[in-house]
C-alpha cells in the first residue's frame, strides 16, 4: 500500500521571461509589501535583484541581502527582523537554496511565535530545487551543525522558473547544483519502499540532467537551461514522502561543518555512496544505468556503470571530486561521521545498521 502526501507549490510559472509575472503573483497571493530575500552577490554584484525590485515598484518594501550559505541562524534572525521592520506581507526568495531556506525559516520563526506566516514566492537561480519542498535547513553559528525543519506552511505558494535569471549564476554553481538535483533523483530511485510516480519522474530527471547539464553551461541556450530547471523539479517531486537514505544527511553535515556548497558535497560523495550502497540497491541503481544508457549484462555491472557515469559527469563539468579539493579538514572526519549517523537515526533511516559512524568515516576517507 502506498501513502502519498501531495505537497507542492500551488502554482509554478516557467518559461523564458516568466519573471515578468512576479507583480501579478504578489497580488494573487494577497500581498502588497514584498520583501526580497537574497544574498550579497545577486544584490550587489549583478543587477538582477534590482531588476526584480524595479518590476515590483511600490509592491517592494526592501531587499534583504544577508542570506548566508548553509543558512546561519544569525542570518535568519536578521531576516526576521527586516521582515518585521518593513511589515512585509510577502516574502520573495531570489537565488539558490540559501535564500530559499532563509525565507522558509522566517516562516518557521513566525510559526513558533504564533504570528501570521507571509506567503512565499520562490525565484530560483540554481538547480538545487529546494523551492519544491516544505523542508528547510538552518545551521548553528557556533557548532556548525545543521538542523532540518519540516512544516507544510514552509512550502512556497508560487515558484517562478525563468532561465533569463540564471545567466549570472557562476558556471561551477550551475553545474554543482545540477549534481545536487541528480542526488535528489538517486535518493528517490533507491527509496525504501520506492513509489512508482516518484521513481518515474526521478529516472526522467536523471536522464535529462546527464544529457543536458554539460551543454547548458552555454548561457545563451535558455531553452536548454529551462530543460534543466524542469529536470530539477522532477528530481525532487514527492521525495520527502519517501525519506532520505544516505547522501543528503552526508551533505547536510559536511556542508555545514566545512562551509562546502551542498552541490559540491554531492559531486564528491554521490558516486562513492552509490558503491557503498550497491548491494542493497542493486536493481535501483541498474535502473539509473538504463536511464543513462549505460546498462550492462547484469544488474551488478549496471549499478557499477551508473556510479561511474555520475563520476564522469562530475569530471566533464570540471567540478571537485575529492574532499581534499574542498575546505574539509581530514582530522575532523570522525566527528562529521558521528553527526551523519546521528541524523540518520533521528530520521529513522532503514540503513543505520550499515551506515554506522565507523563505516561512514571509512566512506569519507575513501573520497578524501
Residue ranges of domains in the chain: 11-166, 171-366
SS3 60: strand
Could you read off the pLDDT of 85-125 as tens digits, one per residue? Answer: 999 999 999 999 999 999 999 999 999 999 999 999 999 99
CA 173 to chain centre: 12
Question: Which residues have a Cβ under 8 Å from the Cβ of 112 and sit 6 or more positions away?
Answer: none
**Integer Cα distance of 361 and 52 in angstroms:** 44
Do 171-366 and 11-166 fall under one CATH topology?
Answer: no
Helix (H) or strand (E) run with residue 34 in it: strand 34-37
**Integer Cα distance of 318 and 334 in angstroms:** 28
Could you confirm whether domain 171-366 is CATH 3.40.47.10?
A: no
Q: Average pLDDT, stretch 187-198?
A: 92
**Integer Cα distance of 50 and 60 in angstroms:** 10
Q: How far is CA 321 from CA 19, 88, 212, 271, in A?
A: 34, 42, 20, 9
In the block, residue with C-alpha cell 515578468: 20
**Domain 11-166 falls in which CATH fold?**
Rossmann fold (3.40.50)
DSSP-assigned letter for residue 155: S
Could you read off the pLDDT of 38-66 as tens digits, one per residue? Answer: 999 999 999 999 999 999 999 999 999 99
Could you read off the pLDDT of 293-347 as tens digits, one per residue? Answer: 999 999 999 999 999 999 999 999 999 999 999 999 999 999 999 999 999 998 8
Amino acid at each position: 500500500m502506498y501513502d502519498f502526501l501531495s505537497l507542492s507549490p500551488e502554482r509554478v510559472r516557467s518559461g523564458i521571461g516568466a519573471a515578468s509575472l512576479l507583480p501579478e503573483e504578489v497580488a494573487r497571493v494577497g500581498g502588497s509589501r514584498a520583501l526580497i530575500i537574497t544574498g550579497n552577490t545577486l544584490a550587489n554584484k549583478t543587477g538582477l535583484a534590482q531588476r526584480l525590485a524595479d518590476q515590483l515598484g511600490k509592491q517592494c518594501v526592501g531587499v534583504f541581502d544577508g542570506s548566508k550559505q548553509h543558512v546561519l541562524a544569525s542570518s535568519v534572525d536578521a531576516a526576521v527582523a527586516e521582515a518585521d521592520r518593513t511589515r512585509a506581507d510577502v516574502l520573495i526568495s531570489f537565488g539558490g537554496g540559501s535564500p530559499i531556506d532563509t525565507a522558509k525559516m522566517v516562516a518557521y520563526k513566525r510559526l513558533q511565535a504564533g504570528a501570521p506566516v507571509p506567503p512565499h514566492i520562490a525565484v530560483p537561480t540554481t538547480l538545487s530545487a529546494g523551492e519544491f519542498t516544505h523542508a528547510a535547513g538552518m545551521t548553528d553559528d557556533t557548532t556548525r551543525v545543521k538542523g532540518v525543519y519540516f512544516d507544510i506552511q514552509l512550502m512556497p505558494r508560487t515558484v517562478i522558473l525563468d532561465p533569463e535569471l540564471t545567466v549570472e549564476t557562476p558556471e561551477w554553481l550551475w553545474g554543482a547544483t545540477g549534481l545536487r538535483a541528480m542526488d535528489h533523483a538517486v535518493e528517490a530511485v533507491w527509496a525504501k519502499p520506492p513509489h512508482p510516480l516518484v521513481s518515474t519522474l526521478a529516472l526522467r530527471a536523471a536522464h535529462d540532467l546527464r544529457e543536458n547539464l554539460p551543454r547548458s553551461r552555454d548561457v545563451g541556450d535558455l531553452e536548454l537551461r529551462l530543460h534543466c530547471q524542469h529536470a530539477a523539479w522532477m528530481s525532487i517531486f514527492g521525495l520527502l514522502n519517501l525519506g532520505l537514505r544516505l547522501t543528503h544527511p552526508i551533505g547536510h553535515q559536511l556542508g555545514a561543518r566545512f562551509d562546502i556548497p551542498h552541490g559540491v558535497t554531492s559531486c564528491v560523495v554521490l558516486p562513492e555512496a552509490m558503491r557503498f550502497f550497491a548491494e542493497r540497491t542493486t536493481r535501483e541503481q541498474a535502473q539509473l544505468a538504463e536511464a543513462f544508457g549505460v546498462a550492462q549484462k547484469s544488474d551488478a555491472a549496471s549499478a557499477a556503470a551508473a556510479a561511474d557515469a555520475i563520476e564522469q559527469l562530475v569530471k566533464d563539468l570540471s567540478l571537485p571530486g575529492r574532499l581534499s579539493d574542498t575546505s574539509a579538514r581530514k582530522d575532523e572526519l570522525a566527528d562529521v561521521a558521528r553527526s551523519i549517523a546521528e541524523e540518520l537515526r533521528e530520521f529513522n533511516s532503514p540503513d543505520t545498521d550499515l551506515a554506522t559512524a565507523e563505516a561512514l568515516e571509512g566512506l569519507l576517507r575513501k573520497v578524501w
